[in-house]
Amino acid sequence: MRTTAINPIGALGAAMIVLALGGWAQAYSGERLAGDAKVGIAQARAIALKAHPGKITDEELEREPGGSGLRYSFDIANGQVTQEVGVDAASGRVLENKAEGAD
């Protein structure tokens, strides 16, 4: 009877590929809610960057009280400051624009 040994490096490589491909299925947190949004992610990014210029470091689409109840939330870095900007996914209105962690 012949046995086949599993190459641990090959198995690790295959596992890494599967995990990496899984990340492509959802480009941003909450993407599965995008069908409920009237404003697309690209338009919401532009609105958020107009409200607070900088570099988007995190983004998500989430259900949260206020506005239509569905909003894009962006963390935007500009120098030493990171701003949280919330954009209503139905109207495109800016719902939140404050320093991260400020409540």
pLDDT, tens digit (0-9, with 9 covering 90-100), for 55-82 = 999 999 999 988 999 999 999 999 998 9
| CATH number of the domain encompassing residue 83 | 3.10.450.40
Angle at CA 35, nearest 5°, toward 98 and 76?
20
**How many separate domains does the chain show?**
1
Token digits for 45?
């990014």
In a domain, 83, yes or no: yes
Rounded Cα distance between 97 and 4, Å, is: 59
37 lies in which domain range?
Answer: 29-99
Q: What is the pLDDT of residues 18-53, one digit of tens each?
A: 444 444 444 678 889 999 999 999 999 999 999 999
